[in-house]
C-alpha cells in the first residue's frame, strides 16, 4: 500500500472505524533514519491505534528505526517480507527476505531488543511458482524462534520475476488453507490472513480458522464498508454516522492540515474518493473532488460543488453496492 495509506488516508479511515488496527504504508528504515524522520513518522493522534510497517534488511538500521517508531507513539512495528516490487527487490528487502529466514530472525531479534511494543512480520505463503508448505512453515518457525508472535500472511506466493506488483496481487492463486495450516501447526502464535478478502462472509470464514484478517485495497476503494466493522468484529454499538458527516469532517481536517503544514486539499481528498461508492451520482461527486483545476478553491466550496453535482444525477445512475 505504498503511496496509499499515508496519514491522511488513515485519518479518514479512523473516522469510519474506531477499533480496527491501522497500518502505515511500508517505510524504508533507511529513509526513517536519514531522509527526514518527521516526514516519515508524523501521524495524527486521532489515528491510533497505528502500526508502523518498515522495510529493510539491516538489523541495526531496523532496530534504530523501530526505536524511533516507538518513541513517536506507534503501537506495533511490522517488518515487511511480502512486497514483490522490483524497487523493493533492488533494496534487498520485501518478499525476497523470505529466502533468508536467518536474516529475518536477526532483524526481528534486533527490533525486539530495541522496543517494548510488539514486533510482527508480514509475508507471503511462498516465493516463485513452487508451492511448498515446508518452505513457509520453516520460515515461520525460524522467525518465531527469534520472538515474533504475530504473522500477517498474504495468502499468495510472490512471483519475483515476470509479474508486476498488481499482477502479484491477482495471478498467483490464493491459498488460504496454508495460513490455516500454519495456525494448526503453531497454535500459540497469532496468524492474520491477507489477500482477496472482499466481503463480510470472506472475513468471517477466515476468523473461524485464524486470528484475524487484514484488508487492503478493497477497504481503500470501498471505505464505507469499514463503518460496519466495529459492530461486526469488536462488539461495539453500531455507529450512527452519515457519509455527509464524514465528508464534512474531512473538510475540517483539510483546513487544519493547510493551516499547520501547507498541505493542499487534493493530497487529502484523493483518499476519500470511494466514500460515495454505490450511490447515485457517485461518479459526478468523485469528478469534482478529483478536479485539480479547483485546487485554489477552499475545500468547503469544493464540497458544495460536489454535492450539487451528485444531486443532479439521474435516478438510474446508482451502482450496486
Asked whether the beta carbons of 308 and 277 are under 8 A apart, the reply is no
Asked whether the beta carbons of 303 and 248 are under 8 A apart, the reply is yes
**Integer angstrom CA distances of residue 195 from 112, 120, 125, 228:** 27, 17, 11, 20
Q: Which residues contact 73 (CB under 8 A, 6 or more apart)?
A: 43, 45, 48, 50
Residue with C-alpha cell 529466502? 99
Farthest CA pair distance, the chain? 60
**Integer angstrom CA distances of residue 146 from 102, 111, 203:** 9, 10, 29
- Positions marked catalytic: 83
CA distance 268 to 274: 13
Number of neighbouring beta carbons within 10 Å of residue 300? 13
Asked whether the beta carbons of 6 and 30 are under 8 A apart, the reply is no
Q: Which residues contact 38 (CB under 8 A, 6 or more apart)?
A: none
Amino acid at each position: 500500500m505504498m503511496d496509499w495509506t499515508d496519514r491522511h488516508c488513515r485519518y479518514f479511515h479512523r473516522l469510519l472505524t474506531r477499533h480496527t488496527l491501522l497500518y502505515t504504508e511500508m517505510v524504508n528504515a533507511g529513509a526513517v533514519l536519514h531522509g527526514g524522520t518527521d516526514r516519515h513518522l508524523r501521524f495524527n493522534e486521532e489515528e491510533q491505534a497505528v502500526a508502523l510497517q518498515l522495510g529493510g534488511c539491516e538489523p541495526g538500521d531496523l532496530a534504530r528505526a523501530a526505536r524511533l517508531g516507538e518513541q513517536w507513539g506507534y503501537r506495533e512495528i511490522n517488518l515487511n517480507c511480502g512486497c514483490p516490487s522490483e524497487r523493493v527487490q533492488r533494496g534487498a528487502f520485501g518478499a525476497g527476505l523470505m529466502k533468508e529466514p536467518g536474516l529475518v530472525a536477526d532483524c526481528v531479534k534486533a527490533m525486539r531488543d530495541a522496543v517494548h511494543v510488539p514486533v510482527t512480520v508480514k509475508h507471503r505463503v511462498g516465493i516463485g511458482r513452487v508451492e511448498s508448505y515446508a518452505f513457509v512453515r520453516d520460515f515461520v518457525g525460524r522467525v518465531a524462534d527469534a520472538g515474533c508472535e504475530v504473522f500477517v500472511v498474504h495468502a499468495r506466493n510472490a512471483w519475483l520475476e515476470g509479474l508486476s506488483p498488481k499482477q502479484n496481487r491477482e495471478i498467483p492463486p490464493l491459498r488460504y488453507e496454508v495460513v490455516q495450516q500454519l495456525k494448526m501447526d503453531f497454535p500459540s502464535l497469532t496468524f492474520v490472513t491477507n489477500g482477496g478478502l472482499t466481503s463480510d462472509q470472506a472475513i468471517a470464514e477466515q476468523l473461524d480458522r485464524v486470528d484475524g484478517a487484514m484488508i487492503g485495497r478493497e477497504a481503500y476503494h470501498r471505505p464505507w464498508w469499514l463503518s460496519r466493522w466495529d459492530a461486526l468484529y469488536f462488539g461495539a454499538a453500531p455507529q450512527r454516522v452519515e457519509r455527509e458527516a464524514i465528508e464534512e469532517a474531512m473538510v475540517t481536517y483539510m483546513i487544519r492540515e493547510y493551516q499547520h503544514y501547507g498541505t493542499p486539499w487534493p493530497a487529502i481528498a484523493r483518499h476519500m474518493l470511494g466514500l460515495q461508492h454505490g450511490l447515485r451520482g457517485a461518479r459526478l461527486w468523485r469528478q469534482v473532488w478529483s478536479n485539480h483545476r479547483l485546487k485554489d478553491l477552499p475545500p468547503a466550496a469544493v464540497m458544495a460543488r460536489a454535492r450539487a453535482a451528485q444531486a443532479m444525477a439521474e435516478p438510474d445512475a446508482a451502482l450496486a453496492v
